[in-house]
Amino acid sequence: MPFDHEIFNAARQEFLSHLLYAKGHGKSTCYAYNGDLGLWATWLTEASKDWQRARPTDVEQFAAWQLRERKVGAHIVNRRLSALSSFYKWAMRHEIAEIDPVYLADKPKRPLRIPIWLEKEEQSKLEATLRNRENIPINIFGESKAKMTETRRRYEMLFSLLLNSGLRISEALGLKLSDVRIVDGIARSVRIIGKGNKERLVPLPEKFGQVFGFWLKDRNKVESVFARALGQKAVSRQSAGAYLRLMLRKAGIDKKISPHKLRHTYATNLMNAGAELVDIKALLGHESIATTQIYTNVGQERMEKVVGRL
């Protein structure tokens, strides 16, 4: 039976509305699901297969096609298959599809990937470089030294927050002053609305909280914490990533460290300090403990101390 695009597109639209309004998923997640379903529809159409009667073998062929022809990594393929499974479970409940073909399909094996993070010495180097005001160059676009110093300070606070809270970069850039709990001038914690609209409260170390609280004093409560200027939006993720790469080069750190890797650094520091996985899970806002378990591979410093006691 040929692919029925009309029924599929109607089902896809209803499913995405379900994710957005009933499940509370963010728009970026819905966009990703929409793209995943679109790719599945394209492959099925070319293979002359019907989406409502798809079988596990079709899913396996779809996965193999992505790995072979599109050179996509196993982790991305598995994420797409997870999106398909969610769609088919929803379609089964609404009696649009007969089975979830993803459930019994063999999934690509994901290679064990140990996260990249900054060692303590590297973290100290980066922080010292961010604090250094003598390495701010003359700007070719005519921006004043004072404005460039202000920009440096803003990024210093952003990257320091990631290192001291483990926030996702999108969570940090979405912060408003009202999300930061300040007591006696010290930033004590930040309130986060994370993935799936789930709320969590992340405490901040006192040493950093003192610096962060001082930087935020006398600011408007509705203002974005990392706004480029009063009344403007926060800096973009792309700008933050580019500035971090610049600072890493200045610090002489030859590692592919993104803002997300600063989150890994925070989790690794927690692991080395003896934190339990369940606590790390809560602080990072992970939905499953399985996601947090990657950090059992990175508590090297703590393991070395344990072995050193033998």
CATH code of the domain containing 184: 1.10.443.10
Confidence of residue 206 (pLDDT cuts 50, 70, 90): very high
CA 166/CA 144 separation, integer angstroms: 32
Pair (62, 133) in one structural domain: no
pLDDT of residue 43: 95
Tell whether 107 is covered by a domain: no
If you write DSSP's letter for every residue of 214-264 in order, what string do you get? Answer: HHHTT--TTSBTTBSSTTSPBPPHHHHHHHHHHHHHHHT--S---HHHHHH
- The reply to whether 179 and 224 lie within a common domain is yes
User: Which range among 140-149, 184-193, 215-224, 270-279 shows the weakest confidence by mean pLDDT?
Assistant: 140-149
Tell me the percentage of the chain whose pLDDT exceeds 70: 87
How many angstroms separate the CA atoms of 244 and 238, rounded?
10
pLDDT band at 1 (very low <50, low <70, confident <90, very high): low
Question: Same domain for 152 and 71?
Answer: no
Is residue 310's pLDDT more than 60? Answer: no
Confidence bin at 246 (pLDDT 50/70/90): very high
* Cβ-contact 157, 148 below 8 angstroms: no
282 — pLDDT class (breaks 50, 70, 90): confident
Give the pLDDT of residue 2: 65
Q: Is residue 101 part of a domain?
A: no
pLDDT in tens, 43-81: 999 999 999 999 999 999 999 999 999 998 888 999 999
Range of the domain at 53: 5-93
What span, in angstroms and rounded, lies between the C-alpha atoms of 47 and 54?
Answer: 11
Residue 70 lies in a domain: yes
- Based on the fold, state whether residues 83 and 140 are members of the same structural domain: no
Edge-to-edge strands of the sheet including 199-203? 180-183, 186-193, 199-203
Answer whether residue 127 is part of any domain: yes
Write the burial class of residue 187 (CB in 10 Å: 0-12 exposed, 13-18 middle, 19+ buried): buried
Does 152 lie in the same domain as 89? Answer: no
Q: Which 3 state secondary structure label does DSSP give 54?
A: coil
pTM: 0.70
Tens digits of per-residue pLDDT, 110-140? 766 667 889 999 999 999 999 998 877 666 5
Local structure of 140: helix, strand or coil: coil
Instruction: Tell whether 165 and 223 lie within a shared domain.
Output: yes
pLDDT number for residue 309: 57
Instruction: Check whether residue 207 and residue 125 sit in a common domain.
Output: yes
| Least confident segment among 47-61, 228-242, 281-295 | 281-295
Which domain-ending residue is among 236, 255, 274? 255
| Spatial distance between the Cα atoms of 24 and 19, rounded to a whole number of angstroms | 6
CATH number at residue 52: 1.10.150
Domain count, the chain: 2
82 and 41 within one domain = yes
> Of 93, 109, 138, at which residue does a domain stop?
93
CA-CA-CA-CA torsion sign (215, 217, 218, 221): positive
Scored b (16 or more CB within 10 A) or e, 279-304 reads ebbebbbbeeeeebeebeebbeeeee
109 pLDDT higher than 90 = no
Taking a C-beta distance cutoff of 8 angstroms, is the pair 102, 87 a contact?
no
User: Alpha-carbon distance 42 to 49, whole Å?
Assistant: 10
